[in-house]
């Protein structure tokens, strides 16, 4: 099984200046998503030109071995340096209804995100989680890698 939610710490990104284009106040993370897109491009990964916004964060779409993935990221409420991200398949509306975004995520896609985060000087405390446990609010099982034994 693969861990797909990730938390990390970084003070390098904006958490104080709300932009007029934010869907919600304090919807920070546009600069994190743009930074991640550039990190992946530097690694030779195909990344869509535009990043997107959702209710509580931002996402970018990238491809590994011909499969499209989204990396969604937003800042943790109440923190100025803590960020939450998660990896999912980029699927259409029908796939979304049937839960396809959480199935078939490749280890290679997760490792590309992991390396971009863990190799950056401006990022610390990268922790990956089991999605079911994380969605229940448990962060006790954090691990330093998205791969499970």
Tell whether 141 is covered by a domain.
Answer: no
Question: What is the pTM (predicted TM-score) of this model?
Answer: 0.92
Dihedrals phi, psi of 127, to nearest 5 degrees: -135, 130
Q: What residues have CB less than 8 Å from 142, skipping those under 6 apart?
A: 7, 127, 128, 129
Has residue 147 been placed in a domain? no
Enclosing domain of residue 64: 5-135
CA distances from residue 119 to 16, 21, 116 in whole angstroms, order as listed: 25, 31, 6
**In a domain? residue 142:** no
Instruction: Determine the pLDDT at residue 92.
Output: 61
Number of domains into which the chain is organized: 1
pLDDT at 95: 46
Burial of 65 per CB tally in 10 Å (0-12, 13-18, 19+): exposed
User: Over the stretch 87-114, which tens digit does the pLDDT of each residue have?
Assistant: 998 866 544 544 545 667 999 999 999 9
CATH number of the domain that 23 lies in?
3.30.310
* 80 in a structural domain: yes
**29-49 burial code (b ≥16 CB/10 A, e <16):** bbebbebbbebbeeeebebee
Residue labelled with tokens 């530097």: 42
């Amino acid at each position: 099984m693969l861990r797909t939610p990730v938390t990390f710490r970084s003070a390098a990104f904006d958490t104080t200046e709300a932009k007029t284009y934010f869907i919600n106040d304090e919807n920070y993370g546009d600069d994190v998503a743009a930074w991640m897109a550039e990190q992946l491009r530097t690694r030779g990964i195909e990344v869509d030109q535009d990043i997107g916004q959702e209710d509580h964060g931002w996402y970018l779409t990238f491809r590994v071995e011909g499969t499209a993935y989204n990396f969604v990221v937003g800042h943790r409420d109440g923190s100025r340096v803590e960020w939450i991200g998660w990896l999912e398949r980029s699927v259409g509306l029908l796939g979304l209804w049937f839960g396809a975004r959480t199935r078939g995520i490749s280890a290679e896609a997760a490792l590309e995100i992991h390396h971009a985060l863990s190799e950056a000087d401006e990022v610390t405390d990268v922790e990956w989680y089991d999605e079911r446990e994380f969605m229940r609010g448990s962060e006790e099982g954090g691990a330093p890698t998205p791969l499970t034994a």
